[in-house]
Structure 1
Amino acid sequence: MMAFRGQRPAQSEEMCDAAAAVVAARQGMEQPLTAVAEAFEELARGMEADGGELRLAPFGDTCALVSVLFSSLGIAFKFAESEYVTKVNDLIGASKEYATLNDILDKDVENDSVKKQGSHSRNLRRVRLGLGLIKALFEQFLATEGGSLYDAATTAYGQVCAPFHSWAIRKAVGAGMYTLPSREQLIMRLNETGKQMI
């Protein structure tokens, strides 16, 4: 199990609880891709039952599961994984105070802190970007049977994250793409077969 990086040494009790929740959510996932898909389906059902409101606690728990997909991509995505986990931890901690995603957005709008570094709204945007990257990567991966993970990841990164990154970050990510596992290695790490993933 990976250690959670990117957190400040002096963490609040809530942040420690949030990190523990992320670890607990990821333990025992024999087929993480399947577990993530099922968790998002359950989240959608809950949202329908709540009249379109997205509850923050189950959203944070579901997003925590996605971190195992980042870690399965190896060193190329370690920075993205660390960033993602830190932001998910923030949302899990915020769920002790706020019931829904709309609650944190409304509060940050009221405080004029939507774009402020460290705000829940900004962290939510970063989590959304991470989810978008993983979604695009696996869509590319599945659409090109026999294609390389390198091609899928490069295309996904170019579509989702590159427009928001500086030239230096784009170059570093590009170099890191060469360390991605092979298609077969990724399927093995996820404990999925090719047929299960389709």
Structure 2
Amino acid sequence: MANFDDQKPLRKISEAFKDLANTVNSQTPDLELELAPFSHACSLVSPLFACLGIAFKFAEIDYVAKVRDLGEASKSIGTLQTMMNRDVEANCVRLAGSHTRNLLRVKRGLDMVRVLFEQIISTEGNSLKNPASTAYAQVFAPHHGWAIRKAVAAGMYALPTKVQLLKKLNEDETTARIEMQNYIDSSVPVIMYIDNLFLSRELGLDW
């Protein structure tokens, strides 16, 4: 069950990612995104998966563990670039448990939430089944085997309604739309930035 210390979790998430986006968009030469504020912003997103129930339980468990790893890494590593460079040098990028592999998984979680919010904003009605199914299909399904996809499909029938989700988030539809759109706008440049870190090192994004 999600337990929000902050009474406006969506606002907290959107503000944290706005700060990250401002950094990424600053056009500063030799820009490096600091790992500590990034992992903190990602941690604010974690309870959203819990709000979606059993369909995204796998994502919640996986995402929370990966974000926790990045948070621990931030105590001794300054930036995402430094973290990735260390893994490249140690030849452990693709090994389970590597910080870089965990970063890729966290990025997918952020992307899934972005697509989910886009679909919620653009979809009429009270059901979250289509928004959640679309988000899962676009971001997670290509990387999952048949068993996980089947379990997620079954779990979609236990999703909360949009009204129930907004109640958990302590938002009405108007304020939720604003904060969801703010997250969408802010997360896009951050996600692109992370993608570029992988592509510039020829690591790819499909593993």
Q: TM-score, normalised by structure 2?
A: 0.79
2:148 corresponding residue in structure 1: 169
SS at match of 1:30: coil
State the number of aligned residues: 175
Are positions 1:32 and 2:31 aligned together? no
Contact 1:141/1:148, CA 8 A, preserved across alignment = no
Q: Report which structure shows greater RCO (CA 8 Å, sep ≥6).
A: 2
Match of residue 196 from structure 1: 175
Structure 2 distance, partners of 1:53, 1:77, is 32
Shift of the alpha carbon at 1:79? 1.7
- Taking every aligned residue pair, what percent have the same amino acid on both sides? 51
Flag the 1:50–1:118 CA change in 2: closer, same or farther, 3 A.
Answer: farther
For 2:36 and 2:66, how far apart are their aligned partners in 1?
14
Measure how far apart 1:44 and its partner are: 2.2
CA distance in 2, matches of 1:151, 1:47: 32
Compute the displacement of 1:91 (Å). 0.2
1:76 paired with 2:55, answer yes
Question: 1:103/1:50 Cα in 2 relative to 1: closer, same or farther (>3 Å)?
Answer: farther
Cross-structure match for 1:179 = 158
1:114 Cα deviation after fit: 0.9
Q: 1 CA distance for matches of 2:55 and 2:49?
A: 9
Q: Is the contact between residue 126 and residue 161 of structure 2 (CA under 8 Å) also seen in structure 1?
A: no
Relative to 1, partners in 2 of residues 1:94 and 1:125: Cα closer, same or farther, differing over 3 Å?
same
CA–CA separation in structure 1 for the residues paired with 2:173 and 2:121: 9
Amino acid across the alignment from 1:195: T
Any gaps of 5 or more consecutive residues in structure 2? 178-207
Deviations 1:100-134 (A, max 9, x none): 00011101111111111100000000100111111
TM-score of the pair, normalised by structure 1: 0.83
